[in-house]
Structure 1
Amino acid sequence: MKAQIPKVILGLILISSSLLMIGSSFNEAATMDELAHIPSGYGYAKYLDYRLNPEHPPIIKLLAATPLLFMDLDFPTESTYWQNETNAQWDMGRLFLYESGNDADAIIFWSRLFPILLALGLTFLIYLWSKEIMGQWWALLPTAATAFTPNILAHGHYVTTDVGAAFGIILSLYFFTRYIVSPTKKNLIYAGITFGIAQLMKFSSAILVGHFIFLILIYLFIDILKNKGRSLSSISKKFFSGFGELILIFMIGAIVIYPAYLLTTAGYPPEKQLADTSYILGDLEDGPCGPVDCLARLTLWGADKPLIRPLSQYALGLLMVIQRSSGGNTSYFMGQVYNLGNPTYFPTVYILKEPIPLLIMIIYALYYGIYSGIKGIKKRKTRFLDYLKTNTYEVSALLFILIYVAYSVSSPLNIGVRHLIPIIPLIYILTFRGIKTCTQESFYNKNIKIALISFLMIWFVAGSLLIYPNYLPYYNEIVGIDNGWQYATDSNYDWGQDMKKLEPFLEREGIDKIALDFFGASSPEYYIGDKFVSWHSAKGNPKLENIDWLAVSINHIQNSVNPTAPGYTRPPQDSYSWLENPHSPYAIVGKTIFIYKL
């Protein structure tokens, strides 16, 4: 009976996490990216047509849209945005959700069920990995951390790709590491299949290629160092065998990817795919044939070829991500507005958006790991090699974290801590693995350490429950839970989720007309009818048109009133210079819509 208790606790963790995400979903309007992802997924599921949102793989969106097939919905395929435009994802989203007689809130709610299941799958996967290296009782700690951290509770119930990417990447890491530990044919096949699944979640999963190469090199070198008597031919054979099997894993992954793209392009007319591909790639078709340009030309060539065009559509998405990542994005961070990124962005937002109890445990585990590492340097080299050989899962997780952090810090695309979600659960695994080792080293301090860990976990879980349902704008007590907008916005704080809360505020205040500058995907007309006039800074003070109230999303405020970083210019008319005290509103709707009485 005692052996079943961890499973019962695991079940309670999963149920509680799911209820928090479902409840949060009821309270929120569509977030920015959902306006594009939901109609795209419906197009894949019902029409097998991939003309919308090719910059992300199809699986998450397709499965999210599956419940919609059982609803009586009007999808505007007769619209010019579907028939004639290229990748008109935002316009199709607006038409589908808000202007075709459909129940937008019902569509959004049912579309979010699969992402919630995916988030629960990620939590369960963390339990499986953790149980492998620390037993079923200790495995509950990183599992609970994953289930209740605000970052995953927030993004786990949106039709977006970040939590799905984390699931695919960690699933692939787990099975590839299992193959390294036990290189059987079965484990090789599993590693290949899960690698393919990861690539179908998000294109950033391609970073696994580098990780796999590094990891296999590490263990090939360990094998050589521990068997110094081997001949050169034996070593060469080992290397060729290892990398041959790695190529086989990638090939199996490609076999998994192909049917998904074959299915979702089956109803996509070849001539339309060719025209869309040509329009999107633009200048990449011309000029000297570098790696990206050559891939672009191959992509265009294959866009209307019967068996090749699924691969062409995959390559198109990959090229779009390369273009998007190198271009940066306008974002507010720590008092300035950037468009090409800041290397301190991701470390800072992670520290400010991670609950303090978890930060304490992470810092302690990091200190313990560094301290133990320094002590280990004084030991014999063979002992270090033995550690690497017997702790493959930990080495794999740590290596991936280091590679991913290096990639993220160098990226100019600074739009949210959500891009770190693939490594956050791995950090939890390593943290509690280190804490377990430290706790068991000294019997005298063991009870004190366990009591402290229990206190920190209770603090953490209680904190997550108390901030329900406001998980997206959560910042920790270092800056104040309601003050996060002063440090970084966009998907860290304001993604348009509070639109449903504006109409009740207008009713309470008796406001018949308000000027609105809204950052988000929702349709103000759908939620507040004719009570608003669309506004922006350059239109001047609404008071001049006899409108006494102004509502502005905090994301727009921060991007408008704060100084710009070197290299980025903002037109003077977009700075809300006429608005007095923009950071001192009359009221705040939800956490993100600032209301001004003029």
Structure 2
Amino acid sequence: MKEAAIMDELAHIPAGYGYVKYFDFRLNPEHPPLVKALAAFPLLFQDLKFPTDKSAWQSEINGQWAAGAQFLYESGNDADKIIRWSRVGPMILTLILIIFIYFWSKELIGRWWAYLPTFMFAISPAVLAHGHYVTTDLAAALGIFIATYYFVKLLIEPSQKHLIFAGLAFGLAQLMKFSAVLLIPFFLFLIVVLYIWKIHNEWADTAFWARPKKFFIRALRYLKNIALVFIIGYALVYAVYFIFTINYPIEKQYSDTKFILGSFAGEPDLKLETCKISSNIPVARRVRCLAEVNIWMSGNKIFRPMAEYMLGVLMVMQRSSGGNTGYFLGEVSAAGWWYYFPTVFALKEALPSLILIFTGLVLTLWHIGKRIISRGSKLTMLFDYIGTHFPEFSMISFVIFYWIYSIKSPLNIGFRHILPTVPFIYILTASAIKKWFNYDIVFEGKNILREFFNMTGKIMKMSAGGLMLTLLLIWYLLETLTVSPHFLSYFNQLGGGLWGGYKYVTDSNYDWGQDLKYLENFVNENKIQRIAVDYFGGGSARYYFGQKAEYWGSSRGNPSDYGINWIAISVNSLQGATGKLHEGQLRDPKDEYRWLQKIKNIHNPDAKAGTSIFIYKLK
């Protein structure tokens, strides 16, 4: 295994082990448990030492980072073996998502065309990067995709089976990542749209006197179904959190929750003024009531499983409103940029994929224009489209909804944040291209290999568009193969490619700490006895190359003054230290590597470990 633990894995792996080994949720409440628990399950069959005797577990509040370092690197465990086995669960979830993309695509656009979005997703550098880490991003995409699939099924073909599946899928999504909470307003939107469409479609055929009763009963039926979906889903959430909080002492859960939410929406509200409807309090302050309710629930034996779930949601709300300090287009800021995600998508999505997506968008707009001209009424066209393409409409709506939410949020954490929209974008792209081809390929045999060659032959015999599609997919595949195994640092040609993307944006887009073991190889191959290391990630330089590593920072000055002639700096740390500060952003001049910039061109290191660690020889 070449990759070291990335930053988030340092917290997620020990947290998951705490859940499945000790049924204790004291670590990493900011993320739901399912991915972490699945990742930690194989670890139960290893003879591991877990630091339950350390303060990070016993007394600290959410001591996830210290517990992670102790568990992986300081307890005599084989860190690489733990990391390797922990990644099996996330990889399985990624494979499940790929399979689901194929099957839903098959229902919508046919067997052959379903291969297009499936192929695009399966070989996407972003998917190959994030699909094996112990993080919640690909899992969120899986949960949201499956939940949307079954909810749309329920709306189109109401049945008890679809109701149960929709509820369970909704619950699973909530257990994957807290951004799945957005499914609540999204599902409500879909049910309102479908209800309006039903009224429009049946209004003329329903007697005037029968309309109120008929549409009122239908509204009640829709409300009942969506309420049951949420009830089933949150019953599953409760059950899972109940299991993982069994041995979490209620006194500690209460004190931890109270401390973590101490500054949520202002200071504590002991008199519960924010919970009084009659109080003349601004909305921004009134949400403090949620924290007070959460604190009370955490001390109640019945409600405390849901209190832990609610705590995670509130932590995400607090972090989202506060932003995340990062480097983007030469600037360092915590305020965020509204154009962050569109830009990152344009720079990190493979060019052949962007061409296909853009083509699909143009074709969709062209079809809409033709419909408007032929139908004459935009409203009639919209209702016709909803009635005949409701799954497609649902996908478009989710992509727009999620992107608007992401753009408005100051939490700019990387391409991974918009991964839940990628499966929908690929399916919509394939659907638009298929309509343009207006050509259904039907296979006669059952041999997949024979069908593949048959498919290829038929495409080559088609129009120039078919040839272009084939060439774009070959280009896409080559893009992925040529950057292996550095998928995380992938940028397309517009973004400077694999080696230049860091100049535009860093963090999990380029450097998440994955290349520490490449640095270990460099140190050993060059027989370096001591090296200063300014590392961003979930690995441990001391674990991999012992006393040769000296942890460093800009404020300590030039390592050569201390007899250390090499320094390795994570590019995330480097860009954060040298990028232009956004207005209002502060940084100590001692932390800006000014001494290094005087003697080196920081963008032209003497060597690189992987793609993300820059190495400078000082003497």
With the shorter chain as reference, the TM-score category is over 0.9
Q: Of the candidates 532, 535, 544, which is equivalent to residue 527 of structure 1? A: 544
Deviates more, 1:244-253 or 1:136-145: 244-253
1:178 equivalenced with 2:195 (yes/no): no
Match of 1:17 in 2: none
Amino acid at match of 1:449: G
* TM-score (norm: length of structure 2): 0.90
Match of 1:111 in 2: 86
Match of 1:319 in 2: 314
Amino acid at match of 2:514: Q
What is the deviation of 1:315?
Answer: 0.9
1:506 equivalenced with 2:488 (yes/no): no
Instruction: Say which SS state the counterpart of residue 514 (structure 2) adopts.
Output: coil
1:495 equivalenced with 2:512 (yes/no): yes
What is the deviation of 1:185?
Answer: 2.3
Write out aligned runs for 1:19-168 (5 A).
26-168=1-143
Match of 2:398 in 1: 400
Amino acid at match of 1:512: Q
Amino acid at match of 1:351: A
Instruction: Say which SS state the counterpart of residue 423 (structure 1) adopts.
Output: helix
Deviates more, 1:276-285 or 1:152-161: 276-285
> Structure 1 residues 174, 291: CA separation in 2 closer, same or farther (over 3 Å shift)?
farther
1:224 equivalenced with 2:222 (yes/no): no
1:375 equivalenced with 2:370 (yes/no): yes
Match of 1:292 in 2: 287
**Alpha-carbon distance between aligned partners in 2 of 1:277 and 1:213, rounded to the nearest angstrom:** 30
What is the deviation of 1:441?
Answer: 7.0
Q: Could you report, residue by residue, the CA deviation over 1:162-214 in whole angstroms, capped at 9, with x for unpaired residues?
A: 00000000000000111111122221221111111100100100111111111
Instruction: Say which SS state the counterpart of residue 532 (structure 2) adopts.
Output: strand
Q: Of the candidates 211, 215, 218, which is equivalent to residue 235 of structure 1? A: 215
Amino acid at match of 1:286: P
Match of 2:259 in 1: 279
Q: Could you report, residue by residue, the CA deviation over 1:424-458 in whole angstroms, capped at 9, with x for unpaired residues?
A: 11100000010011011799994322221111111
Q: Of the candidates 574, 578, 590, which is equivalent to residue 610 of structure 2? A: 590
Instruction: Say which SS state the counterpart of residue 263 (structure 2) adopts.
Output: helix
**Alpha-carbon distance between aligned partners in 2 of 1:336 and 1:36, rounded to the nearest angstrom:** 28
- Confirm or deny: 8 A CA contact 1:376 1:384 kept in the other structure: no
1:516 equivalenced with 2:511 (yes/no): no
What is the deviation of 1:159?
Answer: 0.2
Instruction: Say which SS state the counterpart of residue 594 (structure 1) adopts.
Output: strand
- Confirm or deny: 8 A CA contact 1:439 1:446 kept in the other structure: no
Instruction: Say which SS state the counterpart of residue 493 (structure 2) adopts.
Output: coil
What is the deviation of 1:503?
Answer: 1.9
1:204 equivalenced with 2:179 (yes/no): yes
Q: Of the candidates 307, 329, 342, which is equivalent to residue 347 of structure 1? A: 342
Amino acid at match of 1:440: N
Point out where structure 1 has 5 or more consecutive residues left out of the alignment.
1-25
Q: Of the candidates 460, 465, 473, which is equivalent to residue 449 of structure 1? A: 465
- Confirm or deny: 8 A CA contact 2:386 2:393 kept in the other structure: yes
> Structure 1 residues 81, 180: CA separation in 2 closer, same or farther (over 3 Å shift)?
same
Amino acid at match of 2:268: D
What is the deviation of 1:237?
Answer: 2.9
Match of 2:454 in 1: none
Q: Could you report, residue by residue, the CA deviation over 1:107-126 in whole angstroms, capped at 9, with x for unpaired residues?
A: 00000000000000110010
**Alpha-carbon distance between aligned partners in 2 of 1:537 and 1:481, rounded to the nearest angstrom:** 26
Q: Could you report, residue by residue, the CA deviation over 1:5-48 in whole angstroms, capped at 9, with x for unpaired residues?
A: xxxxxxxxxxxxxxxxxxxxx21000000000000000000000
**Alpha-carbon distance between aligned partners in 1 of 2:549 and 2:187, rounded to the nearest angstrom:** 53
Match of 1:566 in 2: 583
Instruction: Say which SS state the counterpart of residue 343 (structure 1) adopts.
Output: coil
Match of 1:13 in 2: none
**Alpha-carbon distance between aligned partners in 2 of 1:51 and 1:400, rounded to the nearest angstrom:** 33
**Alpha-carbon distance between aligned partners in 2 of 1:179 and 1:278, rounded to the nearest angstrom:** 40
Instruction: Say which SS state the counterpart of residue 608 (structure 2) adopts.
Output: strand
Match of 2:453 in 1: none
Match of 2:412 in 1: 414
> Structure 1 residues 309, 501: CA separation in 2 closer, same or farther (over 3 Å shift)?
same
Instruction: Say which SS state the counterpart of residue 496 (structure 1) adopts.
Output: coil
What is the deviation of 1:371?
Answer: 1.2
Deviates more, 1:39-48 or 1:298-307: 298-307
- Confirm or deny: 8 A CA contact 1:502 1:528 kept in the other structure: no
Deviates more, 1:559-568 or 1:417-426: 559-568
**Alpha-carbon distance between aligned partners in 2 of 1:399 and 1:204, rounded to the nearest angstrom:** 16
Amino acid at match of 2:351: I
Q: Of the candidates 209, 218, 224, which is equivalent to residue 244 of structure 1? A: 224
**Alpha-carbon distance between aligned partners in 2 of 1:509 and 1:104, rounded to the nearest angstrom:** 24
Amino acid at match of 2:256: D
**Alpha-carbon distance between aligned partners in 2 of 1:139 and 1:331, rounded to the nearest angstrom:** 38
Instruction: Say which SS state the counterpart of residue 568 (structure 2) adopts.
Output: strand
Instruction: Say which SS state the counterpart of residue 463 (structure 2) adopts.
Output: helix
- Confirm or deny: 8 A CA contact 1:146 1:428 kept in the other structure: yes
**Alpha-carbon distance between aligned partners in 2 of 1:536 and 1:384, rounded to the nearest angstrom:** 58
Instruction: Say which SS state the counterpart of residue 569 (structure 1) adopts.
Output: coil
**Alpha-carbon distance between aligned partners in 2 of 1:446 and 1:567, rounded to the nearest angstrom:** 58
> Structure 1 residues 518, 570: CA separation in 2 closer, same or farther (over 3 Å shift)?
same
**Alpha-carbon distance between aligned partners in 1 of 2:516 and 2:17, rounded to the nearest angstrom:** 23
**Alpha-carbon distance between aligned partners in 2 of 1:502 and 1:566, rounded to the nearest angstrom:** 35
- Confirm or deny: 8 A CA contact 1:116 1:157 kept in the other structure: yes
Instruction: Say which SS state the counterpart of residue 578 (structure 1) adopts.
Output: helix
Instruction: Say which SS state the counterpart of residue 299 (structure 1) adopts.
Output: helix
Q: Could you report, residue by residue, the CA deviation over 1:389-413 in whole angstroms, capped at 9, with x for unpaired residues?
A: 1111111110000000000001111
Match of 1:458 in 2: 474
> Structure 1 residues 218, 342: CA separation in 2 closer, same or farther (over 3 Å shift)?
same
**Alpha-carbon distance between aligned partners in 2 of 1:557 and 1:280, rounded to the nearest angstrom:** 31
- Confirm or deny: 8 A CA contact 1:439 1:445 kept in the other structure: no
Q: Of the candidates 487, 491, 497, which is equivalent to residue 475 of structure 1? A: 491
- Confirm or deny: 8 A CA contact 2:498 2:611 kept in the other structure: no
**Alpha-carbon distance between aligned partners in 2 of 1:403 and 1:87, rounded to the nearest angstrom:** 32
1:190 equivalenced with 2:165 (yes/no): yes
Write out aligned runs for 1:5-24 (5 A).
none
Q: Could you report, residue by residue, the CA deviation over 1:319-342 in whole angstroms, capped at 9, with x for unpaired residues?
A: 111111111111000111111110
Q: Could you report, residue by residue, the CA deviation over 1:48-88 in whole angstroms, capped at 9, with x for unpaired residues?
A: 00000001111110111000000000001011111111100
- Confirm or deny: 8 A CA contact 1:356 1:477 kept in the other structure: yes
> Structure 1 residues 446, 539: CA separation in 2 closer, same or farther (over 3 Å shift)?
same
What is the deviation of 1:147?
Answer: 0.6
Amino acid at match of 1:363: F
Deviates more, 1:175-184 or 1:291-300: 291-300
**Alpha-carbon distance between aligned partners in 1 of 2:460 and 2:497, rounded to the nearest angstrom:** 37
What is the deviation of 1:481?
Answer: 2.5
Aligned-residue RMSD, C-alpha:
1.6
Point out where structure 2 has 5 or more consecutive residues left out of the alignment.
275-284, 441-458
Match of 1:269 in 2: 249
Match of 2:438 in 1: 440
**Alpha-carbon distance between aligned partners in 2 of 1:364 and 1:441, rounded to the nearest angstrom:** 17
Matched residues, percent identical? 47
Instruction: Say which SS state the counterpart of residue 110 (structure 2) adopts.
Output: helix
- Confirm or deny: 8 A CA contact 2:460 2:467 kept in the other structure: no
Instruction: Say which SS state the counterpart of residue 137 (structure 1) adopts.
Output: coil
What is the deviation of 1:291?
Answer: 5.0
- Confirm or deny: 8 A CA contact 2:348 2:490 kept in the other structure: yes
**Alpha-carbon distance between aligned partners in 1 of 2:468 and 2:21, rounded to the nearest angstrom:** 53
What is the deviation of 1:239?
Answer: 2.3
**Alpha-carbon distance between aligned partners in 2 of 1:504 and 1:226, rounded to the nearest angstrom:** 67
Instruction: Say which SS state the counterpart of residue 287 (structure 2) adopts.
Output: helix
Amino acid at match of 1:567: G
